[in-house]
């Protein structure tokens, strides 16, 4: 069977191995964005503005650092001896990782202007959705690490778990919309909270898309 497009055939080459190692660093920064987003939400619920601002700042810093890694990866892919399909797959993975961080930053930017008022069930559901994003992000980290180690079976298991978490996120979004409708909240904040719900969904969707790309790369290793 022809295996010239097998992404793992060139793992021994320095520049190609470097790209996957950079992808590991990139996913670490994206995961840091998700984690700090969750901590920002926790601080918001506790009405701790100082802690909230601290975690918002850490989210933005991690997003910026991830963006710098993204640029390095694009540069490596532009000069490396990659076949076009492999280059495209790695570029898409790189973009998905960047979109995860962008989405998390979008959530905390909204938190910056959200008034600290107790909204009970709505707050709890927002935090639960952040927790789903964190768990999915952990699975994505594990999947990319398994990809580097060429553990194809483990990649498949972890990507399947990401899919399940993405479905949980969809269910949580429906619960959030229902709760938002029935919650007494100032009209000016309804749009803001709705946008936050959409941003959270986008974070989880981007994790799932990145997982799909990792799975494609792993399938090529078979």
Q: Which domain holds residue 127?
A: 7-219
- Pick from 11-20, 23-32, 178-187 the range whose average pLDDT is largest: 23-32
Three-class secondary structure assignment of the chain: CCCCCCHHHHCCCHHHHHHHHHHHHHHHHHHHHHHHHHHHHHHHHCCCHHHHHHHHHHHHHHHHHHHHHHHHHHHHHHHCCCCHHHHHHHHHHHHHHHHHHHHHHHHHHHHHHCCCCCCCHHHHHHHHHHHHHHHHHHHHHHHHHHHHCCCHHHHHHHHHHHHHHHHHHHHHHHHHHHHHHHCCCCHHHHHHHHHHHHHHHHHHHHHHHHHHHHHHHHHCCC
Kindly state the percentage of the chain with pLDDT values over 90: 65
How many other β-carbons are positioned within 10 Å of the β-carbon of residue 79?
A: 8
The domain tally of the chain equals 1
User: What's the CATH code of the domain at 47?
Assistant: 1.20.58.220
pLDDT value for 6: 47
Is residue 97 assigned to a domain?
yes
Question: How many angstroms separate the CA atoms of 107 and 59, rounded?
Answer: 10
- Give the pLDDT confidence of 116-136 residue by residue, as tens digits: 676 888 999 999 999 999 999
pLDDT value for 222: 67
DSSP code for 184: -
Is residue 20 assigned to a domain?
yes
Is residue 34 assigned to a domain?
yes
Residue range 153-180: mean pLDDT, rounded: 95
pLDDT value for 8: 46
Is residue 29 assigned to a domain?
yes
pLDDT at 22 over 90: no
pLDDT value for 24: 87
Residue range 176-181: mean pLDDT, rounded: 94
pLDDT at 138 over 60: yes
Q: pLDDT-based confidence at 4, cuts 50/70/90? A: very low
pLDDT value for 13: 54
Is residue 1 assigned to a domain?
no
Is residue 37 assigned to a domain?
yes
Is residue 2 assigned to a domain?
no
CB 7 within 8 A of CB 86: yes
CB 128 within 8 A of CB 61: no
For residue 169, give the 3-state DSSP assignment. Answer: helix
Mean pLDDT, the chain, integer: 87
Report the predicted TM-score, pTM, of the whole model to 2 decimal places: 0.89
Is residue 28 assigned to a domain?
yes
How many other β-carbons are positioned within 10 Å of the β-carbon of residue 174?
A: 9
């Amino acid at each position: 069977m022809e295996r010239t497009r097998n992404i793992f055939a060139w793992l021994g080459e320095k520049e190609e191995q470097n790209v996957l190692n950079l992808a590991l660093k990139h996913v670490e920064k994206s995961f840091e964005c998700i984690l700090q987003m969750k901590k920002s939400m926790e601080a918001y619920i506790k009405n701790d503005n100082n802690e909230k601002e601290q975690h918002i700042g850490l989210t933005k810093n991690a997003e910026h650092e991830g963006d710098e890694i993204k640029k390095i990866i694009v540069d490596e892919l532009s000069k490396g001896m990659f076949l076009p399909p492999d280059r495209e797959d790695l570029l898409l993975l790189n973009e998905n990782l960047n979109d995860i961080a962008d989405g998390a930053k979008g959530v905390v930017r909204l938190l910056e202007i959200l008034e600290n008022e107790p909204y009970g069930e709505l707050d709890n559901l927002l935090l639960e959705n952040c927790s789903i994003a964190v768990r999915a992000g952990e699975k994505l980290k594990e999947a990319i690490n398994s990809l580097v180690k060429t553990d194809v079976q483990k990649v498949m298991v972890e990507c399947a778990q990401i899919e399940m978490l993405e479905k949980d996120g969809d269910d949580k979004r429906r619960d959030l919309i229902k709760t938002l409708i029935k919650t007494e909240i100032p009209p000016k904040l309804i749009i803001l909270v709705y946008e936050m719900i959409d941003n959270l969904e986008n974070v989880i969707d981007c994790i799932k898309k990145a997982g799909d790309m990792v799975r494609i790369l792993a399938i090529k290793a078979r």
